Amino acid sequence: MAIQALHQLDIQGNELLARLDEFFAENETDRSVRKLARDWTKRTWQDLAQCDRYISACIIKWQLSRLSTVDKSILRLAVYQLKSCPDIPPRVVINEAIELAKKFGSDKSGSFVNGVLDSFLKKIRAGNI
């Protein structure tokens, strides 16, 4: 749900923020899941510029503006989680992002997302980010 909300924010802009609770309520009955999705969405969106800088630093011979909104949304959430959610193991974040990319992206999205996030994780561990 957070990926879907980030995708819609990327397309519609900030006005969707006011309707996030409604979106999550329509798509999920579990209150704790809605809260987590809302928190991840809002925090990722608040850190959007930083997430985009990190992603741009990890994509080789490519520009962020050329990525599909689906791939960008997946990468943005995963980068946010890798950087700001120490309670989630990095491999879990990366594996979930890859699965989402395979399910909702193009044929090459899974391997692309894997490569970008592996690069980002290496930079974090090396202290370069």
pLDDT of residue 128: 86
- pLDDT tens profile 82-108: 999 999 999 999 999 999 999 999 999
| CATH number of the CATH domain containing 102 | 1.10.940.10
pTM, entire model: 0.93
What pLDDT is attached to residue 84? Answer: 96
What confidence tens digit (pLDDT) does each residue in 46-74 have? 999 999 999 999 998 888 989 999 999 99
Q: Which amino acid is at 74?
A: I
Beta-strand runs (E) in the chain: none
Number of domains in the chain: 1
pLDDT in tens, 19-51: 888 988 888 788 899 899 999 999 999 999 999
Per-residue pLDDT, 98: 98
Q: In this model, does residue 17 exceed pLDDT 80?
A: yes
Q: Which residue range(s) make up the domain with 40?
A: 2-125
What is the pLDDT confidence band of residue 18, given thresholds at 50, 70 and 90? Answer: confident
Q: What percent of the chain has pLDDT over 90?
A: 76
Residue 88 DSSP one-character state: S
Q: CB count, 10 Å around CB of 36? A: 15
**Contacts (Cβ under 8 Å, ≥6 apart) of 40:** 2, 77, 80, 81
CA distances from 110 to 9, 18, 38, 119, 126 (A): 22, 31, 24, 14, 24
Residues 107-116, mean pLDDT to the nearest whole number? 96
The closest alpha carbon to 15, from 52, 45, 49, belongs to 45
First vs last C-alpha separation in the chain: 27
Q: Is 28 helix (H, G, I), strand (E, B) or coil?
A: coil
Contact 40, 2 (CB under 8 A): yes
At 72, the amino acid letter reads K
Cα distance between residue 15 and residue 41, in whole Å: 14
